[in-house]
Amino acid sequence: MKKNTIEIPSCSNCGNSKEFFCNLSESEKQLLSDKKGDNFYKKGQVIFYEGNHANGLYCLYDGKVKLTKLGKDGKEQIVRFSKNGDILGYRSLLSDEPYHATATALEDSHICMISKEKFLQVVEQNTKLSLQVIQLLSKDLKGAEQHLIDVAQKTVKERIAESLILLKNTFGYLADGKTININMTRSEIADMAGTSTESTIRTLATLSDENMIALDGKNIIISDLPNLIRCSNTYD
């Protein structure tokens, strides 16, 4: 990867649907590329903390990130994920509020940073870009509201099933075409589904007994996706 050129992964990597920076003019790209920060985070390291002030836009070049909010008694709730090509922190940047979630690397990640001033400058002169931000926020909002209903109304089993499907849809499969391409602890899956670690372990065992999934250490293999979808009670 060359320095000082805008190498937003969504542009250089065509497998990625979110072509966030593709509508920029050359001069705009140049502006953003200049003095762009290039950072590496180890698994478990925190990119930014909930409550802290936003000073730039993060572009996830390579890696996986979870966004969590702190709830009662310090219990975490995973609110979203980011993967290759996603941008992070745009909400706080544009609404000029502190980060409302903590971003933590789920595996070693390579993240670029664009300064607040430059990003705002480009957004303000490029309507297409702000419409793209609107699309992103709309998608996040839709996801959050769906998640809300799920947690409020679904059983633990339905939520665990749905969480596995979300993980598969977000991170895809390994080369074997059936193992979910992410390693999370049972406790993290619990934070996702809004349940306890013990219930998560038991429910995963049940889903395995019922042959919808198979467990191999931290690897989760989806052996019967249609049934898992049915089990999750999701219709969209």
Partner DNA sequence: TTCTTCTAATGATTTGAATCATATTATTTA
Partner DNA sequence: TAAATAATATGATTCAAATCATTAGAAGAA
Question: How far apart (Å, rounded) are the C-alpha atoms in residues 36 and 7?
Answer: 10
Question: How far apart (Å, rounded) are the C-alpha atoms in residues 111 and 61?
Answer: 5
The DSSP-derived string for 115-128 is EHHHHHHHHHH-HH
Angle at CA 193, nearest 5°, toward 187 and 194? 80
Question: How far apart (Å, rounded) are the C-alpha atoms in residues 179 and 115?
Answer: 37
**Under rule CB under 7 A, residue 205 binds DNA:** yes
Residue 201 interaction partner, one of DNA, its own copies, none, beta carbon < 5-8 Å per kind: DNA
Which region, judged by CB under 8 A, interacts with its own copies, from 30-38, 93-101, 104-112, 163-171? 93-101
Which region, judged by CB under 7 A, interacts with DNA, from 12-20, 116-124, 172-180, 200-208? 200-208
**Under rule CB under 8 A, residue 233 binds its own copies:** yes
**Under rule CB under 7 A, residue 196 binds DNA:** yes
Q: Which is nearer to DNA, 115 or 219 (CB)?
A: 219
List of residues 6+ apart from 121 with CB closer than 8 A: 31
**Under rule CB under 7 A, residue 198 binds DNA:** yes
Signed CA dihedral, 149, 155, 159, 162: sign only: negative
Q: Smallest distance from the beta carbon of 59 to DNA, in angstroms?
A: 27
Nearest Cα to 114, choosing from 24, 50, 13, 14? 24
Footprint of DNA on this chain (CB under 7 A)?
155-157, 185-187, 194-199, 201-202, 204-205, 215, 217-218
Footprint of its own copies on this chain (CB under 8 A)?
69, 71-72, 75, 77, 79, 91, 94-95, 97, 100-101, 123-125, 127, 130-131, 133-135, 137-142, 144-154, 194, 233
